[in-house]
Structures are given as structure tokens and as C-alpha cells.
């Protein structure tokens, strides 16, 4: 019996500190959940491209093989530069919706929507100074659209109408296919639009593109 009491006395500090350990564990899990909830997700895409075989076709001749311009290393370098070229990147951007970024503005976090946007946007910025600048967009339940330019100029209208600002035009429509697929998604909210300059966009993508 005395041995049991001694063991319990030895374990008493553990039982005393157990609530503190439980509280610290709970706070750590809550902090981790909040971080994962509001952290901006990062994605990495990897693609493989098969280059032309130097041993096939017209290049498979002794004369051309002896020319340094047609060596394998130079051909590979040329293909790498082609993949990174503004022309090829521009053609890729023509098939993507990267020129105009749409964000949902929340109380804690502003999230880019990309293809999850409940509205469609067509924007033309005539003044180059208007690119890379945030345009504030608010849509209410009645379908009223209010756009505020970076200069503070305000334009109001309805969904589907063309809104004209100094040096910019904007038309907001309903993304009916997405709204039907997701009835819980609301169109009325606070948003932000950024029209990107194509040259800057290509330069930014090229700087992030790792071709090896």
C-alpha cells in the first residue's frame, strides 16, 4: 500500500500539469486550423515536353552533325528559349483568363477566385496607368453594380450593363453555369478587379518558369 502511495505521489506533478498540457495542445490545434484556413494556397505545375530527336529527319547527316549550330546542346538551348519566348507565352495566355484577376474581399482575407467567380467580367483599360491597379466592385442583391476606380471615380449600373469610367470600360455579367451548380454561392458581395498589362504578365510568368 505504501508503495502504491509513493507511485501516486511521484505521478502527482503529471496529473497537476495535465490541464495545462491539454490547453496548450488545444490552442496549438486551433492556431494550426486558422492558419490552414486563411493561408494562401501555393501550387506548382510540372510538364514534360518531348523535343525532336537529333538522330531523326534531315539533321541525321554527317555534314550537319559536324556543324556546331546543329549540335545537340545548341538545339536543346534553342528549344528552351522557345518555350520561354514571349510569343509562345502570349499564345498560352490567349487560352487562359489571366489578364483580369478577380478577388473576393473578406473581413480577414482577400481570395482570388479565378474560375470560381460568380460573375463574368469584360474590362477594357485605355489608359496604361489603369493596369495593375485595383478596381473596387460591389454587387448587391438587387443586381446593382458599383465600381470605384483607383482614382476614386465611381460608376453605377446593373448587371449586364456597360459601366464607363475615365479610361476604362467594364461589363459585369452573371456566371449562370456556376451559380446553378453551386446554389450556395452568392453573387452579392464585395470584390476587387485588377487588369494586368500583358507585357508585364509575360515577364512575370517567364521569371517564374523553370525550364531545364
Same domain, 106 and 35: no
- For residue 1, tell me if it sits in a domain: yes
The pLDDT of residue 43 is 67
- For residue 56, tell me if it sits in a domain: no
CA 93 to chain centroid, in Å, comes to 14
**pTM exceeds 0.75:** no
Q: State the total domains in the chain.
A: 2
- For residue 78, tell me if it sits in a domain: no
Q: Residue 178 has which C-alpha cell?
A: 456556376
- For residue 55, tell me if it sits in a domain: no
pLDDT digits 0-9 by tens, 8-52? 676 666 667 677 777 888 888 887 776 666 666 666 677 777 665
User: Phi-psi region for residue 194, left (φ > 0), alpha (ψ -120 to 50) or beta?
Assistant: beta
Q: Residue 74 has which C-alpha cell?
A: 545548341
- For residue 106, tell me if it sits in a domain: yes
The CA–CA distances, whole Å, from 207 to 101, 195, 203, 212 equal 19, 20, 6, 14
- For residue 180, tell me if it sits in a domain: yes
Same domain, 33 and 105: no
Helices (H), the chain: 2-38, 62-65, 72-83, 86-94, 176-181, 198-208
- For residue 35, tell me if it sits in a domain: yes
pLDDT digits 0-9 by tens, 137-192? 999 999 999 999 999 999 999 999 999 998 899 999 999 999 999 999 999 999 99
Domain containing 29 equals 1-39
Asked if pLDDT for residue 58 goes beyond 50, the answer is no
**Gap between the Cα atoms of 146 and 136, Å rounded:** 8
What SS3 string covers 49-110? CCCCCCCCHHHCCHHHHCCHHHCHHHHHHHHHHHHCCHHHHHHHHHCCCCCEEEEEECCCCE
139: three-class secondary structure by DSSP: strand
Same domain, 104 and 23: no
Which residues on neighbouring strands pair with residue 11, listed in sequence order?
A: none
Asked if pLDDT for residue 102 goes beyond 80, the answer is yes
- For residue 89, tell me if it sits in a domain: no
Q: Is 190 exposed, middle or buried (0-12, 13-18, 19+ CB in 10 A)?
A: middle
Amino acid at each position: 500500500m505504501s508503495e502504491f502511495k509513493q507511485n501516486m505521489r511521484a505521478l502527482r506533478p503529471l496529473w497537476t500539469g495535465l490541464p495545462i498540457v491539454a490547453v496548450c495542445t488545444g490552442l496549438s490545434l486551433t492556431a494550426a486550423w486558422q492558419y490552414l484556413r486563411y493561408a494562401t494556397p501555393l501550387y506548382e505545375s510540372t510538364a514534360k515536353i518531348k523535343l525532336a530527336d537529333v538522330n531523326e529527319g534531315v539533321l541525321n547527316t554527317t555534314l550537319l552533325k559536324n556543324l556546331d549550330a546543329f549540335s545537340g546542346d545548341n538545339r536543346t538551348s534553342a528549344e528552351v528559349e522557345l518555350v520561354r519566348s514571349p510569343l509562345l507565352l502570349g499564345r498560352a495566355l490567349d487560352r487562359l483568363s489571366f489578364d483580369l484577376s478577380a478577388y473576393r474581399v473578406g473581413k480577414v482575407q482577400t481570395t482570388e477566385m479565378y474560375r470560381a467567380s460568380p460573375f463574368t467580367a469584360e474590362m477594357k483599360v485605355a489608359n496604361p496607368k489603369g493596369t495593375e491597379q485595383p478596381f473596387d466592385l460591389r454587387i448587391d442583391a438587387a443586381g446593382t453594380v458599383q465600381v470605384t476606380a483607383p482614382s476614386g471615380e465611381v460608376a453605377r449600373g446593373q448587371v449586364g450593363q456597360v459601366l464607363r469610367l475615365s479610361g476604362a470600360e467594364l461589363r459585369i455579367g452573371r456566371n449562370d453555369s456556376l451559380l446553378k451548380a453551386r446554389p450556395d454561392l452568392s453573387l452579392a458581395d464585395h470584390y476587387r478587379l485588377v487588369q494586368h498589362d500583358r507585357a508585364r504578365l509575360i515577364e512575370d510568368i517567364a521569371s517564374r518558369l523553370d525550364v531545364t
